[in-house]
Amino acid sequence: MKKVFVAGLTGGIASGKTLALSELARAGARVFSSDAIARELLRRGSPLARAAVKAFGPSIAAPDGSIDRRKLAQRAFKSPSERRRLEALLHPPVLRAMRREIARARGGALVCDVPLLFEKGLAARFDATILISSPRSSRISRLRRFRGLSRSEALSRMGAQWPDARKRPLADVVVENRGSKSQFLRTIRSYGRAMAVISKST
């Protein structure tokens, strides 16, 4: 049985991870999105959605009964203890889903998007780790423009993760997202091709 090459993709919030994961999928890699799995787990009526309402109150529920993820995040990022409560609720089922995805993969390359990869000590689970690094100012701008966060909300979200300077020495590959979108995508495609070559030799 041919072994799958598993890469862990990480980076700070609004660094470009989702865009990178999408481009790697276009390049032929199988991908696992922690954010997409979290959305599915929090779907209307799910056990996790009910547990989230119980833990954080009915104010996080949208009119249709699903979880309003922005309200949930606002509540969770009010304090470190609230954030830890959310992580204890959400991270175990997401990691179980990731382990299942890795276990059933057969050959090729699988890229897993794991926002807190280094913070949670998960690097050893992967054959390689990729850090997407983007300037702090750019990330704040994206959070304000595309997610409608205030500057203080953006800084709060960013403060919950390690700074890039701490993660850089731990990553096998650092991809800079500092130029144009097209430049960033070209770089990601080159790594996608490299992973395809590596996966064929494993």
pLDDT at 92 over 90: yes
Model confidence at 3: pLDDT above 90? no
pLDDT at residue 201 tops 70? no
Question: Model pTM?
Answer: 0.91
When pLDDT is cut at 50, 70 and 90, the band that residue 23 belongs to is very high
User: pLDDT class for 2, splitting at 50, 70, 90?
Assistant: low
* Ordered structural domains, the chain, with CATH: 5-201 (3.40.50.300)
pLDDT in tens, 96-113: 999 999 999 888 899 999
Express each pLDDT in 141-189 by its tens digit: 999 999 999 999 999 999 999 999 999 999 999 999 998 999 999 999 9
Per-residue pLDDT tens digits for 44-90? 889 999 999 999 999 998 887 789 988 999 888 888 899 999 999 99
Question: What is the rounded distance in angstroms from the CA atom of residue 111 to the CA atom of residue 6?
Answer: 6
